[in-house]
């Protein structure tokens, strides 16, 4: 009887060890915290685009998709320049794929920011990019002003130079 108890205890202990090895506790990461912050943007937004000294109305929306594993951002829905950006975790990294009206798909990776209200993505690679000199997005910075206001700063590369367009959004009433 004593041997049976020892064997059962050993099996239970082994099971617990294996369960921990296959299901490690999630550790908070900068990427995970940034993704959680971005999820707070879910909803409809409107505002103004500032580009090349001109202003024009702009809209954007955020929606959690795929069981909450991805955040879909649609900029300019229903316009000829509608663009979609999908943001998701990739293990301990936060990535974003931008489906651009320029017909290429730049991918970005999160870079840590010293500012707690800023989430910054930099160019990682792209699909449908004929060459590195082909015009494409190279950066995205999202600044949280408060729960109902945020900015998107999109950096575009064209003709050897970068330019940034700012979108200032407020939550739709």
Calculate the CA 132 to chain-centre distance.
Answer: 23
Residue 15 domain-assigned? Answer: no
Asked whether residue 72 is domain-assigned, the answer is yes
Does 80 reside within a domain? yes
- CATH value at residue 126: 2.40.128.20
Tell me if the pTM is above 0.85. no
Phi, psi of 11 (to 5 degrees): -65, -45
Alpha-carbon span 140 to 34, nearest angstrom: 14
Indicate whether 140 belongs to any domain. yes
Any idea what the Cα angle at residue 101 is, between residues 127 and 128, rounded to 5°? 15
Alpha-carbon distance 152 to 108, whole Å? 14
Q: Which residues contact 120 (CB under 8 A, 6 or more apart)?
A: 110, 111, 113, 139, 140, 141, 142
Which residue in this structure is represented by tokens 């829905």? 77
In terms of residue numbers, what domain contains 146? 29-171
Per-residue pLDDT of the chain (173 residues; tens, 9 = 90+): 566 554 454 444 544 444 444 544 555 789 999 999 999 999 999 999 999 999 999 999 999 999 999 999 999 999 999 999 999 999 999 999 999 999 999 999 999 999 999 999 999 999 999 999 999 999 999 999 999 999 999 999 999 999 999 999 999 98
Q: Answer yes or no: is 155 within a domain.
A: yes
In a domain, residue 17? The reply is no
Q: Is residue 119 part of a domain?
A: yes
- Split into its structural domains, the chain has a count of 1
User: Within a domain: residue 23?
Assistant: no
- Interatomic CA distance for residues 108 and 57, integer angstroms: 26
């Amino acid at each position: 009887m004593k041997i049976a108890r020892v064997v059962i205890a050993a099996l239970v202990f082994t099971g617990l060890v294996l369960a921990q090895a296959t299901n490690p506790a999630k550790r908070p990461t900068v990427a995970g915290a940034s993704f959680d912050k971005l999820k707070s943007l879910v909803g409809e937004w409107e505002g103004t685009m500032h580009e090349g000294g001109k202003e024009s109305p702009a809209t954007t929306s955020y929606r959690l998709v795929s069981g909450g594993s991805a955040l879909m951002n649609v900029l300019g829905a229903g316009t000829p320049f509608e663009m979609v950006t999908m943001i998701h975790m990739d293990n301990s990294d936060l990535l974003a794929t931008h489906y651009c009206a320029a017909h290429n798909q730049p991918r970005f990776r999160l870079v840590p920011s010293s500012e707690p209200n800023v989430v910054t993505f930099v160019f990682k690679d792209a699909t449908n990019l004929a060459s590195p000199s082909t015009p494409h997005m190279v950066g995205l910075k999202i600044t949280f002003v408060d729960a109902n206001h945020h900015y998107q700063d999109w950096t575009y590369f064209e003709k050897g130079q970068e330019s940034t367009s700012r979108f200032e959004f407020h939550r739709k009433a």
